Amino acid sequence: MTPPSVETPPALGDRITLVGLILEAAAGLRRTLAPGLEGQLGVTGQAFEILLRLSRSPGHHLRMTDLSAQTGLTPSGLTRAVDRLEAAHLAVREVCPSDRRGAFATLTERGNEQTLLACERHRLDIDATLAGIFTAAEEVELARLLQRLRDAVFPEAALISAEPEVKRA
């Protein structure tokens, strides 16, 4: 009984569709960009996020708990992800001196170099992927809107882009 609806011209009016578009755009980007990251790093796209957050943190390290919150992985998922990074000699664990229950994940020298290389490659891949899709103004607008959404549904992830490295006055 759906009306003929030959095509809701802009295919909108439906928030289910809006959410669908976000999920599909994310899946498409993951699919498009994963090969570049994995070829460069030898690890999965998920691992790249961890490495990137470490490389942007002071001392190139973060508490397991914080990394877990920022990435959205469960503590157990993060434990295993860091296991793999250690096996690949991209990161190591260190005990937290002030609270010996805690552990830091710390980037190795090699891990940091690889991450920077992967970033350059990633940037090129993204440039190629986004070429011709948006005007500069549209890109800024898209980022502005997405940031509001992200801050609403996943605020823990914000730390990295909100305060890159500076916390001081």
Partner DNA sequence: TAAGATTGAGTAATCAATCTTT
Partner DNA sequence: AAAGATTGATTACTCAATCTTA
How far, CA to CA in Å, does 52 sit from each of 11, 17, 72, 101, 125? 36, 31, 14, 25, 16
Residue with tokens 């730390």, as numbered in its chain: 159
Contact letters (x/-) for DNA, 16-55, by CB under 7 A? ----------------------------x-x---------
> From the CB of residue 44, how many other CB atoms can be counted at a distance below 10 Å?
14
**111, 54 contact by CB (below 8 A):** yes
- Given 63, 102, 119, 121, the residue binding a copy of itself (CB under 8 A): 119
| Residue 19 touches a copy of itself, criterion: CB under 8 A | yes
Put the strands of the sheet holding 91-95 in their side by side order: 61-63, 103-107, 91-95
| Residue 65 touches a copy of itself, criterion: CB under 8 A | no
103 binds, among DNA, a copy of itself, none (CB under 5 to 8 A by kind): DNA
Query: Site residues (CB under 8 A) for a copy of itself?
Result: 2, 4-8, 10-12, 15-33, 49, 55, 72, 112, 119, 122-123, 126-127, 129-130, 133-134, 138-150, 152-154, 157, 160-166
